[in-house]
Chain A
Amino acid sequence: MTQRTKLFLLNHGPLLTTVAIFLLAYVIGGQLYPAMQKPQVFFNLFINNGSLLIVSIGMTFVILTGGIDLSVASVIALTTVASAVLLQNGLPPLVVMPLMLLMGIAFGAVLGGFIHFLKVQPFVVTLMGSFFARGMAYIISLTSVTIKDGFYNDLALTPIYIPFVPNAYVYSYALVGPVLFLVTIYLAFFTRFGRTVYAIGNNEQSARLMGLPVGRTKISVYAFSGFCSALAGIVWSIALLSGYGRYAPSMELDAIASVVMGGTMLTGGVGNPVGTLFGVLINGTIVSLLQFNGTLSSWWTRIGVGALTLVFIGIQSLFYVRRKTSG
């Protein structure tokens, strides 16, 4: 029994650490700033970090294969601008949204194809993708474009009240992340695709020798990340009711940090979307804490997130070494 517990702790150590850090940060915050005790503050985490949660989930799969996707933030910006302009030109939202998602998938698949077939390092290819998407956003429009579409307006402004919690609400677009989260749990743990992702991240060579579809899976993972980025872009454009090439600056770094804080190893193979959810929540909580504090400045977020990322890389290698030696 104790052996089992020990193994459980070793296998889920980083995830438990993440959850603990989140709870600790939240409880401490609640003690310091009583306003943070309100349930709405918790739900605001989802409203304010809707896009981050979505791209981080996509990023999780990419990082699980041992890759990285630096293009996510630019694809968000591109999606907001493209949807805003298309809507302005009178295309119905129900055409624009699928179109954007298709664009994201195609974009990611092309990047994945470069990575797989040309054997170029992922960060080079996706950095290039990032340049391309950001540039395209400006080519479409150099200035911010407002969205006046009625459907988007409704989505943006209609609160949905949370059952059993008085006065707590979210906006519809804040639900996209949690729903996607549930879908990816299924993907990660109950499909061959998900398990192949893990296998590739552990040892690509082995996965290939085991006869698993390495190339197809890798390309799919980048396509999925592209899909998530476009989805996050749609959420962003709904939340701000506008599109602009400057949106989501360096969000790829926030996403990577959230994934790493969620216990996913940057070398691949270890981690899961559950951790990423909490990684995003930690990120959001740090921002909330700074806001409630009022005197601390926003850049402490970046420094804090950077420091936590380093700490987690350290924690992971510690757990990893322990598990390797405790055979």
Chain B
Amino acid sequence: MTRQKLLARVRESRLFWPLTALAVILLFDALFAPGFFRIGIIDDPVYGPHLYGNLIDVLNNGAPLMLVSIGMTLVIATSGVDLSVGAVIAISAAMGAVLINPALGDRLITNDILTADTTNTPLPLIILADLAAGTLCGLWNGFLVSRARIQPMVATLILMVAGRGIAQLITNGQIMTIYYTPYFWFGNGFILGLPVSIYIVAGVALLAWVLVRKTALGLFIESTGVNARAAYYAGLDERNIKLLAYTFCGFTGAIAGLILSSYVHSSDANNIGANYELDAILAVVMGGTLMSGGRFSIVASIIGAMVIWAFTITMYTFGVPADALTAAKAVLVLLVILLYSEFSQRLLGRWSLRKGPSHDAAH
């Protein structure tokens, strides 16, 4: 085998681990959860005929996480982290719910108005406002990290603390139920039998991919993540690169908030998007991006997010309640931590050393 081919294989191996994990979970389902793979066609009175089944659920329920993972990938690649994505989701969802609310403000309301299938704001404006709010949050994080030079964990912790308060401020502290049906389309609708949300993921992933692979941004992000000082000497403006990564992460959080609130028909500032920060970090790490930054793969992170949701749906089919699921997820995190720890890396390194010259490229 030539060196070139070997390298090509190593590069592909970025997808190797998440795909293996996905395969293991699906294999488990195939063996122990009869009917897990059943996919049917249902003719929905609202959304028309479409596919349904566990695998579709993995895609549809996993879409918000996939979106956030895309943004988180870029942030982690610059050797940062964004702990505020859950809060950003809440802010974006709150924004949408409030703008729809046909009885805005202190106006005396009757139940009729509140539960009417109308909106206070045209849908495109709602979407714009959602995206703007999330992007602004990302910009704020990016500003703290790149300009105020606060370490990423601390900087994003601030929005993690205050963000859900801001979301409550927007919704005036209420859990707002949404009755405006066109809004439901993002989280529940179907195009050609597949969930709308998955098209949104594909669109954002494509956008991100074009941004980082068809321009030099990917190279810049990776250089900054590996050696910020060398990148600076080479003429890169590391600050703007970080600013961009955090802003984009806020943007993806905003879309996730839109889809999530659309899916559950409501905005609950305290609970929507809860635990998304760890899930997203987990997805990115499973996708082979190191927490210390550098090389990244958007596709691998998306598959990482799919693994998490395949795992989640599997647990649901076994009747594990949603609340208790977090414990199982913690075990999953633990496995990933162990797999990527220096200790097991060394073990793997020794193993491939024994196997011969592939050691050079093995890490």
**Taking beta carbons and an 8 Å cutoff, which residues of A are in contact with B?**
68, 114, 117-121, 123-125, 127-129, 131-132, 134-136, 138-139, 142, 245, 249-250, 253, 256-257, 266-267, 297-303, 305-307, 309-310, 313
Indicate if the CB atoms of A124 and B291 lie closer than 8 Å. Answer: yes
Residue B120 at the A interface, CB < 8 A? no
Contact of B333 among A131, A256, A302 (CB under 8 A): A131
Indicate if the CB atoms of B326 and A132 lie closer than 8 Å. Answer: yes
Contact of B164 among A129, A136, A302, A307 (CB under 8 A): A302
Chain A residues within an 8 Å CB radius of B164: 250, 299, 302
CB of A125 to closest CB in B, whole Å? 7
Indicate if the CB atoms of A118 and B341 lie closer than 8 Å. Answer: yes
Contact of A142 among B154, B291, B321, B326 (CB under 8 A): B321
Residue B362 at the A interface, CB < 8 A? no
Chain A residues within an 8 Å CB radius of B159: 306
Task: Give the 5 A-B residue pairs with the shortest CB-CB distance, closest first.
Answer: A135-B327, A306-B162, A302-B165, A132-B330, A299-B168
Cβ-closest chain A residue relative to B159 = A306
CB of B208 to closest CB in A, whole Å? 23
Residue B151 at the A interface, CB < 8 A? yes
Contact of B161 among A114, A125, A302 (CB under 8 A): A302
Residue B24 at the A interface, CB < 8 A? no
Number of A-B contacts (CB under 8 A): 125
User: Could you list 7 examples of A-B contacts with CB < 8 Å?
Assistant: A118-B343, A128-B333, A132-B326, A135-B330, A305-B162, A306-B162, A309-B162
CB of B309 to closest CB in A, whole Å? 16
Known: A114-B337, A119-B342, A127-B278. A300 touches B327 (CB 8 A): no
CB of A265 to closest CB in B, whole Å? 10
B322-336 vs A, CB cutoff 8 Å, 1 = contact: the mask equals: 011111111101100
Indicate if the CB atoms of A117 and B343 lie closer than 8 Å. Answer: yes
User: Within the assembled complex, what's the spacing in Å between the Cα atoms of A309 and B154?
Assistant: 10
Contact of A253 among B161, B281, B328 (CB under 8 A): B161
User: Within the assembled complex, what's the spacing in Å between the Cα atoms of A139 and B324?
Assistant: 5
Known: A139-B324, A309-B158, A310-B158. A302 touches B168 (CB 8 A): yes
Interface of A is mostly: helix
B319-363 vs A, CB cutoff 8 Å, 1 = contact: the mask equals: 001011111111101100110011100000000000000000000
Q: Quick one: which of A114, A131, A307 has the most chain B CB within 10 A?
A: A131
B135-176 vs A, CB cutoff 8 Å, 1 = contact: the mask equals: 000000000000000110110011111111110110011000
Cβ-closest chain A residue relative to B338 = A118
Indicate if the CB atoms of A125 and B329 lie closer than 8 Å. Answer: no
Indicate if the CB atoms of B329 and A135 lie closer than 8 Å. Answer: yes
CB of B10 to closest CB in A, whole Å? 24
Chain A residues within an 8 Å CB radius of B173: 297-299
User: Within the assembled complex, what's the spacing in Å between the Cα atoms of A131 and B337?
Assistant: 14
Residue B177 at the A interface, CB < 8 A? no
Chain B residues within an 8 Å CB radius of A305: 161-162, 165
Indicate if the CB atoms of A134 and B161 lie closer than 8 Å. Answer: no
User: Within the assembled complex, what's the spacing in Å between the Cα atoms of A142 and B321?
Assistant: 9
Contact of A132 among B172, B327, B342 (CB under 8 A): B327
Residue B83 at the A interface, CB < 8 A? yes
Known A299-B164, A303-B162; 7 more pairs at CB < 8 Å: A132-B330, A135-B323, A249-B270, A253-B160, A297-B173, A302-B168, A309-B157
Indicate if the CB atoms of A300 and B165 lie closer than 8 Å. Answer: yes
Known: A118-B337, A118-B338, A267-B151. A139 touches B327 (CB 8 A): yes
Indicate if the CB atoms of B278 and A297 lie closer than 8 Å. Answer: no
